[in-house]
Amino acid sequence: MVVLSVTEGEDKPLKYPTIFREARAIVISKIDLIRHVPFKLKRCLEFIRKINPRAPVFRVSALSGKGIKEWLDWLTFFSDGNN
């Protein structure tokens, strides 16, 4: 799993393609800050899908709780030995 914060920029998948290619899941964190930083979500998702078309992408905010349940459900599923 790889975590990308919106504060790091949408081009992070291009800078670190190996980790994004190998990731079983991708978390875009601090999604609540997207209005305050120069981050283009659509462009980031295009970069991610170009490198890894299969991994689920979770958009999460610890502040609002958005996306946390879905991410935790995924973590629970894989921690139970499901591949």
**In angstroms, rounded to a whole number, what is the distance separating the alpha carbons of residues 62 and 68?**
7
pLDDT tens for the 83 residues of the chain, in order = 999 999 999 999 999 999 999 999 999 999 999 999 999 999 999 999 999 999 999 999 999 999 999 999 999 988 877 76
Q: Are 12 and 39 in contact (CB under 8 A)?
A: no
Count of domains observed in the chain: 1
Provide the domain limits for residue 9.
Answer: 2-79
pLDDT averaged over the chain? 94
- Contacts of residue 37, Cβ cutoff 8 Å, sequence gap at least 6: 6, 7
pLDDT score of 31: 96
CA distances from 10 to 5, 31, 82 (A): 9, 12, 30
